[in-house]
Structure 1
Amino acid sequence: MAYVAVTALSHPGLLRERNEDSLVVGPWTLCATVTESPQTLFFPLGAPLVVAVADGLGGHPGGDVASALVVRRIASAGPALSSEDAVRDTLSACNRAVYQAAGGDEGSELAAMGTTVAGIVVQPGSLLVFNVGDSRVLEASPDGLRQLSVDDSPPLEPGQRTTSIVTQCLGGSPTYRPIRPHVAAAPLAPGDRYLICTDGLTDPVLTEVLEEVLRESDDNRAAFELWKAAIAAGGPDNITLAVVRVVDE
Protein backbone atom coordinates (compact mmCIF):
# COMPACT_ATOMS: atom_id res chain seq x y z
CA MET A 1 0.00 0.00 0.00
CA ALA A 2 1.37 3.42 -0.92
CA TYR A 3 1.36 6.16 1.66
CA VAL A 4 2.52 9.74 2.18
CA ALA A 5 4.89 10.66 5.03
CA VAL A 6 5.01 14.31 6.08
CA THR A 7 7.69 15.52 8.49
CA ALA A 8 7.21 19.10 9.66
CA LEU A 9 8.69 21.72 11.97
CA SER A 10 7.87 25.38 12.76
CA HIS A 11 9.99 27.78 14.80
CA PRO A 12 10.16 31.58 15.30
CA GLY A 13 13.90 31.80 14.60
CA LEU A 14 16.26 33.90 16.69
CA LEU A 15 15.23 37.50 15.94
CA ARG A 16 11.42 37.52 15.72
CA GLU A 17 9.34 37.97 18.86
CA ARG A 18 6.67 35.53 17.68
CA ASN A 19 6.05 32.94 15.00
CA GLU A 20 3.77 34.31 12.27
CA ASP A 21 4.08 31.17 10.13
CA SER A 22 1.37 28.51 9.91
CA LEU A 23 1.28 25.00 8.48
CA VAL A 24 -1.42 22.64 7.22
CA VAL A 25 -1.05 18.89 6.71
CA GLY A 26 -4.32 17.30 5.69
CA PRO A 27 -6.84 18.11 8.44
CA TRP A 28 -4.11 19.20 10.86
CA THR A 29 -2.85 22.75 11.35
CA LEU A 30 0.02 24.32 13.30
CA CYS A 31 -0.28 28.05 13.94
CA ALA A 32 2.16 30.30 15.85
CA THR A 33 3.91 27.28 17.32
CA VAL A 34 7.43 26.70 18.61
CA THR A 35 8.77 23.23 17.77
CA GLU A 36 12.39 22.16 17.62
CA SER A 37 11.59 18.46 17.17
CA PRO A 38 10.17 17.40 13.79
CA GLN A 39 6.77 15.71 13.86
CA THR A 40 5.85 13.04 11.29
CA LEU A 41 2.35 12.18 10.09
CA PHE A 42 1.39 9.32 7.77
CA PHE A 43 -1.53 9.22 5.32
CA PRO A 44 -2.68 6.61 2.81
CA LEU A 45 -2.17 7.69 -0.79
CA GLY A 46 -5.74 8.14 -1.94
CA ALA A 47 -7.94 11.16 -1.32
CA PRO A 48 -6.26 14.49 -2.14
CA LEU A 49 -3.86 15.45 0.68
CA VAL A 50 -2.82 19.08 1.02
CA VAL A 51 0.46 20.16 2.65
CA ALA A 52 1.17 23.89 2.75
CA VAL A 53 2.93 26.67 4.63
CA ALA A 54 1.77 30.27 5.09
CA ASP A 55 4.12 33.09 6.07
CA GLY A 56 2.45 36.10 7.69
CA LEU A 57 3.86 39.37 6.37
CA GLY A 58 6.48 40.80 8.70
CA GLY A 59 6.13 44.46 9.61
CA HIS A 60 2.34 44.27 9.34
CA PRO A 61 0.11 43.68 12.38
CA GLY A 62 -1.83 40.45 12.17
CA GLY A 63 0.54 38.37 10.07
CA ASP A 64 -0.09 35.43 12.39
CA VAL A 65 -3.85 35.98 12.13
CA ALA A 66 -3.71 35.98 8.32
CA SER A 67 -1.53 32.86 8.02
CA ALA A 68 -3.65 30.92 10.54
CA LEU A 69 -6.87 31.92 8.78
CA VAL A 70 -5.52 30.71 5.43
CA VAL A 71 -4.25 27.30 6.55
CA ARG A 72 -7.47 26.60 8.46
CA ARG A 73 -9.56 27.38 5.39
CA ILE A 74 -7.31 25.20 3.25
CA ALA A 75 -7.62 22.38 5.80
CA SER A 76 -11.41 22.69 5.75
CA ALA A 77 -11.41 22.40 1.95
CA GLY A 78 -9.65 19.06 2.35
CA PRO A 79 -10.25 16.41 -0.31
CA ALA A 80 -12.22 18.90 -2.44
CA LEU A 81 -8.85 20.24 -3.66
CA SER A 82 -8.70 17.68 -6.46
CA SER A 83 -8.23 20.00 -9.47
CA GLU A 84 -6.32 23.12 -10.47
CA ASP A 85 -9.56 25.12 -10.60
CA ALA A 86 -10.54 23.97 -7.10
CA VAL A 87 -7.16 25.11 -5.74
CA ARG A 88 -7.42 28.50 -7.48
CA ASP A 89 -10.96 29.02 -6.19
CA THR A 90 -9.93 28.12 -2.63
CA LEU A 91 -6.95 30.49 -2.68
CA SER A 92 -9.10 33.31 -4.03
CA ALA A 93 -11.63 32.63 -1.27
CA CYS A 94 -8.77 32.74 1.26
CA ASN A 95 -7.68 36.10 -0.14
CA ARG A 96 -11.19 37.53 0.26
CA ALA A 97 -11.39 36.10 3.78
CA VAL A 98 -8.14 37.82 4.80
CA TYR A 99 -9.46 41.19 3.61
CA GLN A 100 -12.78 40.59 5.34
CA ALA A 101 -11.03 39.69 8.61
CA ALA A 102 -8.87 42.82 8.30
CA GLY A 103 -12.02 44.90 8.60
CA GLY A 104 -11.80 46.90 5.38
CA ASP A 105 -10.86 49.99 7.34
CA GLU A 106 -7.45 51.66 7.13
CA GLY A 107 -7.77 52.50 10.81
CA SER A 108 -8.29 48.87 11.76
CA GLU A 109 -5.60 47.24 13.86
CA LEU A 110 -5.40 44.44 11.26
CA ALA A 111 -5.49 46.66 8.16
CA ALA A 112 -3.05 45.42 5.48
CA MET A 113 -2.41 42.11 7.24
CA GLY A 114 -1.37 39.48 4.75
CA THR A 115 0.38 36.19 4.15
CA THR A 116 2.10 34.14 1.50
CA VAL A 117 1.14 30.52 0.89
CA ALA A 118 2.79 27.60 -0.90
CA GLY A 119 2.01 23.92 -0.99
CA ILE A 120 1.09 20.74 -2.78
CA VAL A 121 -1.91 18.48 -3.16
CA VAL A 122 -0.87 14.83 -3.32
CA GLN A 123 -3.10 12.27 -5.02
CA PRO A 124 -2.43 8.97 -6.81
CA GLY A 125 -0.31 9.57 -9.89
CA SER A 126 -0.41 13.35 -9.80
CA LEU A 127 0.65 16.38 -7.82
CA LEU A 128 -0.79 19.90 -7.76
CA VAL A 129 1.72 22.63 -6.87
CA PHE A 130 0.48 26.07 -5.81
CA ASN A 131 1.74 29.32 -4.35
CA VAL A 132 1.09 33.01 -3.89
CA GLY A 133 4.13 34.97 -2.69
CA ASP A 134 7.68 33.74 -2.07
CA SER A 135 7.25 30.66 0.08
CA ARG A 136 8.49 27.70 -1.93
CA VAL A 137 7.85 24.18 -3.12
CA LEU A 138 11.03 22.29 -4.08
CA GLU A 139 11.40 18.82 -5.54
CA ALA A 140 14.32 16.82 -4.14
CA SER A 141 15.86 14.25 -6.49
CA PRO A 142 19.27 12.56 -6.89
CA ASP A 143 20.10 15.37 -9.31
CA GLY A 144 19.48 18.08 -6.69
CA LEU A 145 16.68 20.51 -5.92
CA ARG A 146 14.26 21.87 -8.48
CA GLN A 147 11.93 24.73 -7.62
CA LEU A 148 8.33 23.99 -8.63
CA SER A 149 6.73 27.14 -7.21
CA VAL A 150 7.03 30.60 -8.77
CA ASP A 151 8.39 33.43 -6.61
CA ASP A 152 6.21 36.53 -6.59
CA SER A 153 9.11 38.92 -6.13
CA PRO A 154 10.87 41.59 -8.22
CA PRO A 155 13.96 40.70 -10.28
CA LEU A 156 17.12 40.52 -8.20
CA GLU A 157 19.91 43.04 -8.69
CA PRO A 158 23.33 41.70 -9.75
CA GLY A 159 24.93 40.00 -6.74
CA GLN A 160 21.66 39.99 -4.81
CA ARG A 161 20.55 36.52 -3.67
CA THR A 162 17.27 37.25 -1.89
CA THR A 163 14.68 39.97 -1.39
CA SER A 164 12.03 40.47 1.27
CA ILE A 165 9.70 42.20 -1.22
CA VAL A 166 6.71 40.28 -2.58
CA THR A 167 4.68 41.41 -5.57
CA GLN A 168 1.64 39.29 -4.67
CA CYS A 169 0.22 37.84 -1.47
CA LEU A 170 -3.08 37.06 0.23
CA GLY A 171 -4.27 40.34 1.74
CA GLY A 172 -1.44 42.74 2.39
CA SER A 173 -3.01 46.07 1.37
CA PRO A 174 -5.67 48.38 2.86
CA THR A 175 -8.00 47.79 -0.11
CA TYR A 176 -8.95 44.53 -1.79
CA ARG A 177 -6.67 43.22 -4.54
CA PRO A 178 -7.47 40.04 -6.49
CA ILE A 179 -4.74 37.43 -6.85
CA ARG A 180 -3.51 35.21 -9.66
CA PRO A 181 -2.36 32.03 -7.92
CA HIS A 182 0.35 29.91 -9.48
CA VAL A 183 -1.10 26.40 -9.86
CA ALA A 184 0.42 23.60 -11.92
CA ALA A 185 0.08 19.83 -12.22
CA ALA A 186 3.00 17.40 -12.20
CA PRO A 187 3.32 13.59 -12.31
CA LEU A 188 3.80 11.75 -9.03
CA ALA A 189 5.51 8.42 -8.39
CA PRO A 190 6.57 6.44 -5.30
CA GLY A 191 9.90 7.70 -3.99
CA ASP A 192 9.23 11.33 -4.92
CA ARG A 193 10.25 13.78 -2.20
CA TYR A 194 9.41 17.45 -1.72
CA LEU A 195 10.39 20.34 0.53
CA ILE A 196 7.77 23.00 1.28
CA CYS A 197 9.03 25.96 3.27
CA THR A 198 8.84 29.63 4.13
CA ASP A 199 11.64 32.03 3.21
CA GLY A 200 12.94 31.82 6.77
CA LEU A 201 14.71 28.72 5.48
CA THR A 202 15.57 29.57 1.87
CA ASP A 203 16.76 33.15 2.44
CA PRO A 204 19.58 32.44 4.94
CA VAL A 205 20.51 28.91 3.79
CA LEU A 206 22.26 28.33 0.46
CA THR A 207 20.66 25.95 -2.03
CA GLU A 208 23.79 23.79 -1.95
CA VAL A 209 23.29 23.23 1.78
CA LEU A 210 19.61 22.34 1.32
CA GLU A 211 20.58 19.83 -1.38
CA GLU A 212 23.29 18.23 0.75
CA VAL A 213 21.04 17.81 3.79
CA LEU A 214 18.21 16.28 1.77
CA ARG A 215 20.59 14.00 -0.12
CA GLU A 216 22.30 12.61 2.98
CA SER A 217 19.50 12.50 5.57
CA ASP A 218 16.24 10.66 6.14
CA ASP A 219 13.14 12.82 6.46
CA ASN A 220 13.20 13.34 10.23
CA ARG A 221 16.92 14.10 10.30
CA ALA A 222 16.62 16.33 7.24
CA ALA A 223 13.91 18.49 8.82
CA PHE A 224 16.02 18.92 11.96
CA GLU A 225 19.24 19.66 10.07
CA LEU A 226 17.50 22.18 7.80
CA TRP A 227 16.16 24.02 10.84
CA LYS A 228 19.62 23.88 12.43
CA ALA A 229 21.19 25.37 9.28
CA ALA A 230 18.75 28.29 9.34
CA ILE A 231 19.50 28.90 13.02
CA ALA A 232 23.27 28.70 12.38
CA ALA A 233 22.81 31.32 9.64
CA GLY A 234 21.34 33.71 12.22
CA GLY A 235 17.71 32.60 12.25
CA PRO A 236 16.60 36.01 10.95
CA ASP A 237 12.99 34.98 10.30
CA ASN A 238 10.36 32.42 11.24
CA ILE A 239 11.24 28.94 9.92
CA THR A 240 8.54 26.52 8.81
CA LEU A 241 9.13 23.49 6.65
CA ALA A 242 7.64 20.17 5.64
CA VAL A 243 9.44 17.24 4.00
CA VAL A 244 6.97 15.13 2.03
CA ARG A 245 7.75 11.65 0.72
CA VAL A 246 5.64 9.21 -1.26
CA VAL A 247 6.35 5.63 -0.17
CA ASP A 248 5.27 2.36 -1.78
CA GLU A 249 5.56 -0.63 0.58
Structure 2
Amino acid sequence: MTTGRVRYSARTHVGLKRPVNEDSILALPDEELWLVSDGMGGHDAGDYASRLIADLVATIEPGLLPSDRMHALRALIQKAHGIIQETAVERGVETIGATVVSLMLADGHFVALWAGDSRLYRLRDGAIQMLSRDHSLVAELVEAGHISWDEAERLPQSNAITRAVGVGDELVLDKVRGDAQPGDRFLLCSDGLTKYATFAMLEKVLREAPIETISDRLVQIALDGGGADNISVIVVDIG
Protein backbone atom coordinates (compact mmCIF):
# COMPACT_ATOMS: atom_id res chain seq x y z
CA MET A 1 0.00 0.00 0.00
CA THR A 2 1.03 3.61 -0.55
CA THR A 3 0.50 6.62 1.69
CA GLY A 4 2.20 9.91 0.88
CA ARG A 5 5.93 9.27 0.55
CA VAL A 6 5.79 5.86 2.27
CA ARG A 7 4.89 2.50 0.74
CA TYR A 8 4.52 -0.69 2.73
CA SER A 9 3.68 -4.37 2.47
CA ALA A 10 2.54 -6.60 5.34
CA ARG A 11 1.70 -10.27 5.73
CA THR A 12 1.31 -12.81 8.51
CA HIS A 13 1.11 -16.57 7.95
CA VAL A 14 0.36 -19.44 10.34
CA GLY A 15 3.21 -21.51 8.87
CA LEU A 16 3.16 -25.24 8.23
CA LYS A 17 3.25 -26.76 11.72
CA ARG A 18 1.26 -24.58 14.13
CA PRO A 19 -2.55 -24.89 14.42
CA VAL A 20 -2.98 -21.23 15.41
CA ASN A 21 -1.27 -18.02 14.34
CA GLU A 22 0.01 -16.42 17.55
CA ASP A 23 1.56 -13.50 15.64
CA SER A 24 -0.20 -10.19 15.13
CA ILE A 25 0.70 -7.31 12.85
CA LEU A 26 -0.50 -3.72 12.75
CA ALA A 27 -0.18 -1.07 10.07
CA LEU A 28 -1.26 2.51 10.78
CA PRO A 29 0.09 4.30 7.71
CA ASP A 30 -1.70 7.57 8.48
CA GLU A 31 0.23 7.68 11.76
CA GLU A 32 3.36 6.24 10.09
CA LEU A 33 3.40 3.45 12.65
CA TRP A 34 3.88 -0.31 12.15
CA LEU A 35 4.14 -3.19 14.62
CA VAL A 36 4.82 -6.94 14.78
CA SER A 37 4.08 -9.02 17.88
CA ASP A 38 4.81 -12.72 18.45
CA GLY A 39 2.78 -14.40 21.20
CA MET A 40 4.02 -16.95 23.72
CA GLY A 41 2.12 -19.21 26.04
CA GLY A 42 0.27 -21.46 23.63
CA HIS A 43 -3.17 -21.28 22.03
CA ASP A 44 -5.63 -18.98 23.85
CA ALA A 45 -2.64 -17.24 25.43
CA GLY A 46 0.01 -16.25 22.89
CA ASP A 47 -2.50 -15.19 20.26
CA TYR A 48 -4.43 -13.25 22.92
CA ALA A 49 -1.29 -11.43 24.07
CA SER A 50 -0.08 -10.40 20.62
CA ARG A 51 -3.55 -9.33 19.52
CA LEU A 52 -4.05 -7.27 22.68
CA ILE A 53 -0.82 -5.38 22.01
CA ALA A 54 -1.80 -4.67 18.40
CA ASP A 55 -5.37 -3.71 19.33
CA LEU A 56 -4.26 -1.32 22.07
CA VAL A 57 -1.67 0.38 19.87
CA ALA A 58 -4.35 0.73 17.19
CA THR A 59 -6.24 3.04 19.57
CA ILE A 60 -3.42 5.61 19.55
CA GLU A 61 -4.79 9.12 19.19
CA PRO A 62 -4.42 10.29 15.59
CA GLY A 63 -2.50 13.40 14.63
CA LEU A 64 -0.21 13.60 17.63
CA LEU A 65 3.10 15.42 17.45
CA PRO A 66 6.01 12.99 16.94
CA SER A 67 7.25 13.13 20.54
CA ASP A 68 3.72 12.70 21.89
CA ARG A 69 3.10 9.83 19.49
CA MET A 70 6.21 8.02 20.70
CA HIS A 71 5.23 8.49 24.35
CA ALA A 72 1.70 7.28 23.57
CA LEU A 73 3.07 4.19 21.82
CA ARG A 74 5.24 3.36 24.81
CA ALA A 75 2.34 3.90 27.22
CA LEU A 76 0.01 1.62 25.25
CA ILE A 77 2.57 -1.21 25.18
CA GLN A 78 3.08 -0.77 28.92
CA LYS A 79 -0.70 -0.89 29.39
CA ALA A 80 -0.78 -4.18 27.49
CA HIS A 81 1.97 -5.49 29.78
CA GLY A 82 -0.19 -4.88 32.84
CA ILE A 83 -3.36 -6.34 31.34
CA ILE A 84 -1.57 -9.50 30.19
CA GLN A 85 -0.11 -9.99 33.66
CA GLU A 86 -3.54 -9.64 35.23
CA THR A 87 -5.00 -12.12 32.74
CA ALA A 88 -2.30 -14.68 33.53
CA VAL A 89 -3.15 -14.45 37.23
CA GLU A 90 -6.87 -14.77 36.54
CA ARG A 91 -6.33 -17.86 34.36
CA GLY A 92 -3.81 -19.40 36.74
CA VAL A 93 -1.27 -19.56 33.92
CA GLU A 94 2.43 -19.14 34.66
CA THR A 95 3.39 -17.36 31.44
CA ILE A 96 1.46 -15.34 28.91
CA GLY A 97 3.38 -12.83 26.87
CA ALA A 98 4.48 -11.57 23.51
CA THR A 99 7.42 -9.96 21.83
CA VAL A 100 6.93 -6.61 20.15
CA VAL A 101 8.83 -4.53 17.63
CA SER A 102 7.46 -1.23 16.39
CA LEU A 103 8.56 1.38 13.88
CA MET A 104 7.46 5.01 13.85
CA LEU A 105 8.42 7.59 11.21
CA ALA A 106 8.36 11.37 11.54
CA ASP A 107 10.10 14.31 9.90
CA GLY A 108 12.82 12.33 8.19
CA HIS A 109 13.59 10.21 11.24
CA PHE A 110 12.57 6.86 12.71
CA VAL A 111 12.20 5.54 16.22
CA ALA A 112 11.68 1.90 17.18
CA LEU A 113 10.65 0.28 20.46
CA TRP A 114 10.99 -3.43 21.09
CA ALA A 115 11.10 -6.26 23.60
CA GLY A 116 12.00 -9.85 22.77
CA ASP A 117 13.40 -11.31 19.57
CA SER A 118 11.16 -9.85 16.88
CA ARG A 119 13.48 -7.72 14.78
CA LEU A 120 13.90 -4.50 12.86
CA TYR A 121 16.29 -4.27 9.91
CA ARG A 122 17.13 -1.44 7.53
CA LEU A 123 18.41 -1.77 3.97
CA ARG A 124 20.37 1.32 2.91
CA ASP A 125 22.46 1.62 -0.23
CA GLY A 126 22.07 -2.12 -0.81
CA ALA A 127 23.44 -3.15 2.60
CA ILE A 128 21.40 -4.61 5.46
CA GLN A 129 21.74 -3.58 9.08
CA MET A 130 19.99 -5.10 12.09
CA LEU A 131 18.76 -2.14 14.13
CA SER A 132 17.24 -4.07 17.05
CA ARG A 133 19.07 -6.45 19.36
CA ASP A 134 17.39 -9.65 20.54
CA HIS A 135 16.55 -10.06 24.19
CA SER A 136 17.55 -13.72 24.33
CA LEU A 137 20.07 -16.09 25.85
CA VAL A 138 21.96 -16.55 22.60
CA ALA A 139 22.12 -12.78 22.03
CA GLU A 140 24.63 -12.58 24.86
CA LEU A 141 26.95 -14.88 22.90
CA VAL A 142 26.55 -12.71 19.81
CA GLU A 143 27.20 -9.48 21.68
CA ALA A 144 30.34 -11.04 23.17
CA GLY A 145 31.57 -11.78 19.65
CA HIS A 146 31.55 -15.57 20.02
CA ILE A 147 29.01 -16.28 17.26
CA SER A 148 27.07 -14.44 14.55
CA TRP A 149 23.32 -13.83 14.54
CA ASP A 150 22.99 -16.39 11.75
CA GLU A 151 24.81 -18.99 13.86
CA ALA A 152 22.70 -18.10 16.90
CA GLU A 153 19.52 -19.09 15.05
CA ARG A 154 20.80 -22.67 14.77
CA LEU A 155 21.39 -23.14 18.50
CA PRO A 156 18.83 -25.23 20.46
CA GLN A 157 18.21 -22.39 22.93
CA SER A 158 17.59 -19.78 20.22
CA ASN A 159 13.92 -19.53 21.26
CA ALA A 160 14.72 -18.68 24.89
CA ILE A 161 13.94 -14.99 25.20
CA THR A 162 14.74 -12.91 28.27
CA ARG A 163 12.22 -10.12 27.84
CA ALA A 164 8.60 -9.94 26.67
CA VAL A 165 5.45 -7.91 27.12
CA GLY A 166 3.46 -9.46 29.99
CA VAL A 167 6.43 -11.26 31.53
CA GLY A 168 8.17 -10.00 34.68
CA ASP A 169 7.21 -7.22 37.06
CA GLU A 170 8.66 -4.40 34.97
CA LEU A 171 8.77 -4.12 31.20
CA VAL A 172 11.82 -2.36 29.81
CA LEU A 173 11.41 -1.39 26.18
CA ASP A 174 14.61 -0.79 24.24
CA LYS A 175 14.69 2.10 21.79
CA VAL A 176 16.69 2.99 18.72
CA ARG A 177 16.32 6.10 16.61
CA GLY A 178 17.98 7.64 13.59
CA ASP A 179 17.44 9.25 10.24
CA ALA A 180 15.19 7.79 7.56
CA GLN A 181 16.51 8.67 4.11
CA PRO A 182 14.78 8.38 0.74
CA GLY A 183 15.45 4.88 -0.57
CA ASP A 184 15.66 3.28 2.87
CA ARG A 185 13.74 0.03 3.29
CA PHE A 186 12.77 -1.19 6.77
CA LEU A 187 11.80 -4.76 7.69
CA LEU A 188 9.93 -5.73 10.85
CA CYS A 189 9.55 -9.46 11.39
CA SER A 190 8.94 -12.25 13.88
CA ASP A 191 11.47 -15.02 14.43
CA GLY A 192 9.39 -17.30 12.23
CA LEU A 193 11.26 -15.61 9.37
CA THR A 194 14.72 -15.19 10.85
CA LYS A 195 14.94 -18.87 11.82
CA TYR A 196 15.27 -19.58 8.11
CA ALA A 197 16.56 -16.39 6.51
CA THR A 198 20.23 -15.48 6.89
CA PHE A 199 21.43 -11.90 6.66
CA ALA A 200 22.58 -12.57 3.10
CA MET A 201 19.19 -13.96 2.10
CA LEU A 202 17.34 -11.03 3.62
CA GLU A 203 19.68 -8.53 2.00
CA LYS A 204 19.19 -10.10 -1.43
CA VAL A 205 15.39 -10.07 -1.24
CA LEU A 206 15.23 -6.59 0.26
CA ARG A 207 17.53 -5.32 -2.46
CA GLU A 208 15.74 -6.96 -5.37
CA ALA A 209 12.03 -7.49 -4.66
CA PRO A 210 9.45 -4.79 -5.43
CA ILE A 211 7.19 -3.68 -2.62
CA GLU A 212 4.20 -5.38 -4.28
CA THR A 213 5.65 -8.89 -3.85
CA ILE A 214 8.29 -8.61 -1.15
CA SER A 215 6.16 -9.85 1.77
CA ASP A 216 5.17 -12.94 -0.20
CA ARG A 217 8.83 -13.54 -1.10
CA LEU A 218 9.95 -13.32 2.52
CA VAL A 219 7.17 -15.56 3.83
CA GLN A 220 8.00 -18.11 1.14
CA ILE A 221 11.60 -18.31 2.38
CA ALA A 222 10.31 -19.42 5.78
CA LEU A 223 7.81 -21.86 4.28
CA ASP A 224 10.47 -23.38 2.04
CA GLY A 225 12.70 -23.75 5.08
CA GLY A 226 10.09 -25.75 6.97
CA GLY A 227 7.65 -23.15 8.30
CA ALA A 228 7.72 -24.55 11.83
CA ASP A 229 6.62 -21.25 13.36
CA ASN A 230 4.21 -18.45 12.56
CA ILE A 231 5.68 -15.91 10.13
CA SER A 232 5.06 -12.16 10.12
CA VAL A 233 6.69 -9.47 8.01
CA ILE A 234 6.18 -5.78 7.35
CA VAL A 235 8.32 -3.92 4.84
CA VAL A 236 8.27 -0.12 4.76
CA ASP A 237 9.82 1.89 1.93
CA ILE A 238 10.80 5.52 2.27
CA GLY A 239 9.95 7.27 -1.00
Determine if contact 1:88/1:183 at 8 Å carries over to the other structure.
no
**Identity among equivalent pairs (%):** 31
Bigger fraction of residues in strand: 1
Determine if contact 1:81/1:121 at 8 Å carries over to the other structure.
no
Pairing partner for 1:122 from 105, 115, 130: 105
Structure 1 236/207 Cα, relative in aligned 2: closer, same or farther at 3 Å?
same
3-state SS of 1:225 partner: helix
Instruction: Report the Cα distance in structure 1 between the residues aligned to 2:41 and 2:83, rounded to whole angstroms.
Output: 19
State the aligned residue count.
Answer: 222
Instruction: Report the Cα distance in structure 1 between the residues aligned to 2:237 and 2:61, rounded to whole angstroms.
Output: 19
Determine if contact 1:57/1:113 at 8 Å carries over to the other structure.
yes
Which residue is 2:13 aligned to? 11
Structure 1 101/230 Cα, relative in aligned 2: closer, same or farther at 3 Å?
same
TM normalised by structure 2 equals 0.85
Instruction: Report the Cα distance in structure 1 between the residues aligned to 2:119 and 2:65, rounded to whole angstroms.
Output: 19
How big is each residue's C-alpha offset from its partner over 1:114-146, in whole Å with a ceiling of 9 and x where there is no partner? Answer: 100001011222111111100001001234211
Instruction: Report the Cα distance in structure 2 between the residues aligned to 1:78 and 1:23, rounded to whole angstroms.
Output: 18
Q: Does 1:185 align with 2:177?
A: yes
Structure 1 156/233 Cα, relative in aligned 2: closer, same or farther at 3 Å?
farther
Which residue is 2:122 aligned to? 139
Instruction: Report the Cα distance in structure 2 between the residues aligned to 1:242 and 1:204, rounded to whole angstroms.
Output: 17
Bigger fraction of residues in helix: 2
3-state SS of 1:170 partner: coil
How big is each residue's C-alpha offset from its partner over 1:65-91, in whole Å with a ceiling of 9 and x where there is no partner? Answer: 000000011111154483354433332
Q: Which moved more, 1:210-219 or 1:185-194?
A: 185-194
Structure 1 194/81 Cα, relative in aligned 2: closer, same or farther at 3 Å?
farther
TM normalised by structure 1 equals 0.81
Q: Which moved more, 1:236-245 or 1:147-156?
A: 147-156
Q: Which runs of 5+ in 2 are unaligned?
A: none
Which residue is 2:132 aligned to? 149
Matches within 5 A, 1:19-38: 19-26=21-28
Which residue is 2:166 aligned to? 171
Which residue is 1:29 aligned to? none
Q: Does 1:89 align with 2:111?
A: no
Q: Spell out structure 1 runs of 4+ moving beyond 6 A.
A: none
